[in-house]
C-alpha cells in the first residue's frame, strides 16, 4: 500500500477489509455514501456480499441476519440513518450480535446540512435505542485512526458480542489526508468464541454476569435461536423477573466491567499543569494546536484525547482531572460529552464548554479564547 492520499471513508472500508469483513449492507446518505461504494468494490471480490438495501431498516436487518449466520458485518450511515437503525440496534444488543455500525455525522437535526460536519450525535449514539443498555462507541480523529479504530471495532464486536459504533464526522470521512496505512500497528485479529460441535448450546450462556457467551452460527453445528423478546440463556421467552434482571445485568456487566480495558485514550500531559482539555474526534486536533500555542506562551496545560467515548473511560478521566483547576471540553455540538465529564469532575474544578454547531470546525483560537487561555 505505502503512502496514499485517502479520505476517512476509504480508510474505514480498508480497516473493515483488514478485519475480514465479509458482509456489508447500506443505504446511500451523504457523507457516508462512499463507504457503500468502496465496500461494493471490495467485498464481493473476496467472496463476501455487499448490497445496497431498500432503506436503513433493511440495511441493518440484512446485517443482523448475516452476522448471526457467522459473517463479519459492517453498515454505514449518517445521523438520519441511525434514527432508522434505532429499533434494530436494540435487537442486536438483545441477540448479542457482533456488528460494526459507522455514523459519519453531519449537521442535524433531521436532514440538516448533508455536506457539512458536526458532532451532534454523541449522546444519541449512547442512547440510540430503547432500554438504555450500554454500547461501545469509538471516535477517530484522523484518517489513519479511522482505519485503526474500524479494525478495532470489529475486534471488540466479536469479543463482546454487541454492536460497536464508529462515530466519525464529515470532516474525517470525506477529507483526504496523506497516510501510510502499513505503518499503523494493529492488534491481532479477534474472532467470536464459538461453541464446539458436541457441546450443548445455550445462545446466551454465562457463569459470571460479565462473561461473553460463546456463539454458534445459524446454519452451524447447533440449533441456534435468536429473539427480540425478553428471554433466558436458552433464548426462550421468559417472564421471570429474576431471570430478566439477570440477563439485563449480564448485558450491562459485560461492557461496564470492561470499561478500563476498552478505554482508548491519548495523553499529552505536562508536569505542573492545572488546566486540562478533554476532547475527541476532529476537535482533538484543534486542541493539539491550541495546547502547543498555549505552551509556547508559558501556559502549563495538558490534553486528554478520548478514542473510546462509551463506555466512559472513568479511570483515565478521573486521574487526568486530578489536581486540575480548570477543565475545558470543546465540542462541535451544544455540550454533550461534557455531561459525562461533569459526572466525574472533582468539586471546585471549573468546567468550561467550548461549543459551536455552525458546521465549521472549532479552531485552536476559539479554544484558547473561549477557554480563557489568553
Partner 1 sequence: MNAVRETYLTDAIGPLPFCPGCGHHRLIKALDKTLTKLQPDPKKVVIVTDIGCIGLADRYFVTHAFHGLHGRSITYACGLKLARPELTVIVLKGDGGCGIGGTHLLNVARRNIGITLIVANNFNYGMTGGQHSVTTPTDGLTATTPLGNIEAAMDLCGTAIAAGAPWAYRGTGFDRDLTDRIADAIRQPGFAMLDIWDMCTAYYLPRNQLGKKDLTGMMERLGLQAGVLIDRPRPEYGEQYRNLHEISEQVPRKRPEITPKYTNTVARQTGVVIAGSAGQKIRSAAGLFAQAGMFANLEATQKDDYPITVMTGHSITEIIISPESIDYTAIDSPDYFVVISEDGLEKSWGRIAKLANSATLYAEESLDLPATDAKVVRLPFVATAKKINRLSVGIVALAAMLHDTGMFSLDAFKDSITVLQKPAIADVNLQALKAGAAIL
Question: Applying CB under 8 A, which residues contact partner 1?
Answer: 1-5, 23, 25, 30, 41-42, 44-45, 49, 51, 53-55, 57-58, 60-71, 87-88, 91, 114-115, 171, 174-178, 217-229, 235-237, 282, 285-286, 288-289, 360-361, 363-365
SS (H, E, C) 201-224: CCCCCCCCCCCCCCECCCCCCCCC
Smallest distance from the beta carbon of 363 to partner 1, in angstroms?
A: 6
Q: Which is nearer to partner 1, 23 or 165 (CB)?
A: 23
Smallest distance from the beta carbon of 17 to partner 1, in angstroms?
A: 11
Q: Are 295 and 123 in contact (CB under 8 A)?
A: no
Q: What is the Cα–Cα distance from 217 to 193, expressed in whole angstroms?
A: 11
Is the CA virtual torsion 294, 296, 300, 306 positive or negative?
Answer: positive
Is the CA virtual torsion 341, 75, 109, 280 positive or negative?
Answer: positive
Q: Which is nearer to partner 1, 92 or 320 (CB)?
A: 92
As given in the structure block, the three cell numbers for residue 205 are: 450462556
Q: Which is nearer to partner 1, 130 or 245 (CB)?
A: 130
Q: What is the Cα–Cα distance from 156 to 191, expressed in whole angstroms?
A: 9
Q: Which is nearer to partner 1, 143 or 352 (CB)?
A: 143
Smallest distance from the beta carbon of 348 to partner 1, in angstroms?
A: 32
Cis peptide bond prior to 31, omega within 30° of 0 = yes
Q: Which is nearer to partner 1, 135 or 235 (CB)?
A: 235
Is 312 buried (19+), middle (13-18) or exposed (0-12) by CB count in 10 A? buried
Q: Which is nearer to partner 1, 155 or 169 (CB)?
A: 169
Smallest distance from the beta carbon of 78 to partner 1, in angstroms?
A: 14
Smallest distance from the beta carbon of 142 to partner 1, in angstroms?
A: 9
Those residues whose C-beta lies under 8 Å from the C-beta of residue 159, and which sit 6 or more positions away, are 190, 192, 212
Smallest distance from the beta carbon of 342 to partner 1, in angstroms?
A: 27
Amino acid at each position: 500500500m505505502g503512502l496514499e492520499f485517502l479520505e476517512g471513508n476509504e480508510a474505514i472500508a480498508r480497516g473493515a477489509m483488514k478485519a475480514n469483513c465479509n458482509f456489508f449492507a447500506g443505504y446511500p446518505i451523504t457523507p457516508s455514501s462512499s463507504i457503500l461504494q468502496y465496500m461494493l468494490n471490495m467485498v464481493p471480490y473476496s467472496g463476501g456480499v455487499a448490497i445496497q438495501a431498500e432503506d436503513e431498516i433493511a440495511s441493518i436487518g440484512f446485517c443482523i441476519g448475516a452476522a448471526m449466520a457467522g459473517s463479519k458485518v459492517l453498515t454505514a450511515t449518517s445521523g438520519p440513518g441511525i434514527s432508522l437503525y434505532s429499533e434494530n440496534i436494540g435487537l442486536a444488543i438483545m441477540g448479542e450480535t457482533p456488528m460494526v455500525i459507522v455514523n459519519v455525522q453531519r449537521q442535524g437535526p433531521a436532514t440538516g446540512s448533508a455536506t457539512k460536519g458536526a458532532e451532534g450525535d454523541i449522546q444519541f449514539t449512547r442512547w440510540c435505542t430503547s432500554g438504555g443498555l450500554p454500547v461501545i462507541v469509538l471516535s477517530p480523529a484522523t484518517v489513519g485512526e479511522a482505519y485503526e479504530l474500524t479494525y478495532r471495532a470489529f475486534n471488540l464486536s466479536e469479543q463482546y458480542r454487541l454492536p460497536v459504533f464508529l462515530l466519525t464526522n464529515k470532516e474525517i470521512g470525506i477529507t483526504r489526508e496523506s497516510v501510510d496505512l502499513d505503518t499503523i500497528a494493529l492488534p491481532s485479529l479477534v474472532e467470536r468464541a464459538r461453541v464446539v460441535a458436541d457441546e450443548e448450546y445455550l445462545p446466551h450462556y454465562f457463569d459470571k454476569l460479565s462473561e461473553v457467551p460463546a456463539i454458534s452460527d445459524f446454519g452451524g453445528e447447533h440449533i441456534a435461536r435468536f429473539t427480540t423478546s425478553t428471554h433466558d440463556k436458552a433464548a426462550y421467552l421468559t417472564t421471570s423477573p429474576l431471570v430478566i434482571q439477570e440477563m439485563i445485568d449480564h448485558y450491562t456487566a459485560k461492557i461496564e466491567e470492561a470499561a478500563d480495558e476498552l478505554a482508548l485514550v491519548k495523553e499529552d500531559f505536562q508536569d505542573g499543569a492545572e488546566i486540562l482539555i478533554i476532547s475527541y474526534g476532529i476537535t482533538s486536533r484543534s486542541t493539539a494546536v491550541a495546547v502547543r500555542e498555549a505552551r509556547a506562551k508559558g501556559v502549563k496545560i495538558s490534553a486528554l484525547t478520548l478514542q473510546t467515548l462509551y463506555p466512559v473511560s472513568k479511570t483515565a478521566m478521573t486521574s487526568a482531572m486530578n489536581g486540575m483547576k480548570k477543565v475545558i471540553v470543546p465540542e462541535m455540538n451544544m455540550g454533550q460529552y461534557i455531561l459525562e465529564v461533569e459526572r466525574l469532575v472533582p468539586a471546585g474544578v471549573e468546567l468550561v464548554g467550548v461549543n459551536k454547531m455552525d458546521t465549521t470546525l472549532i479552531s485552536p483560537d476559539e479554544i484558547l479564547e473561549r477557554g480563557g487561555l489568553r
